[in-house]
Amino acid sequence: MNADHENVGLGGDGDEISAIEEVENEFGVRLDYSDAAQWSTVGDVYAALLAQLSPEEAKRADVWDRFSRAICRETGISPSRIGLESGLIAEDGLWVSVASGRRVLFILAIVAVIIAINILR
């Protein structure tokens, strides 16, 4: 994991949903969204993934590489440039205002859409 901790660059235009689905599809799991309102870093989503994996699978050497490729697939950020502290949401331009109180509402909306998509499947 690179110390530069580049932001993943999700922008709130639906790409965050796709990024989470990429992670779920890569590992064949569904993440527990009960704490999704607090997800603000790559490490938060990674911890949610590890909680869904068997202890044996969670210890595999390739888990981080597979995860980082999946979470970055939507934005094109190089997986080698992110770390556990990397932010999920782009912090430049319009989406700076998503931080603080709006971030919670934004993430709750994401969770609601993901749940709705999963119910409709």
> Angle at CA 71, nearest 5°, toward 12 and 63?
155
Residue 116 has a pLDDT of 84
pLDDT band at 16 (very low <50, low <70, confident <90, very high): confident
Residue range 21-37: average pLDDT?
92
Supply the pLDDT for residue 96.
39
7 to 21, 23, 89, 119: CA distances (angstroms): 18, 17, 7, 30
With b for 16 or more beta-carbon neighbours within 10 A and e for fewer, the 85-113 pattern comes to: ebbbbbeeeebeebeeeebeebbeebbee
**Residue partners of 16: CB distance under 8 A and separation at least 6:** 10, 88, 89, 110
Residue 57's pLDDT band, with cuts at 50, 70 and 90, is very high
Percent of the chain with pLDDT over 70: 82
Q: Does residue 44 surpass a pLDDT of 80?
A: yes
What residues does 41 pair with on adjacent strands? 87
What's the pLDDT at 104? 66
Instruction: Kindly report each contact of residues 53-62 with a partner whose C-beta sits within 8 Å and lies 24 or more positions away, as own/partner.
Output: 53/27, 53/29, 57/27
Mean of the per-residue pLDDT values of the chain = 83
- At 106, is the pLDDT very low, low, confident or very high (cuts 50, 70, 90)? confident
The DSSP output letter for 100 is T
Is residue 32's pLDDT more than 80? yes
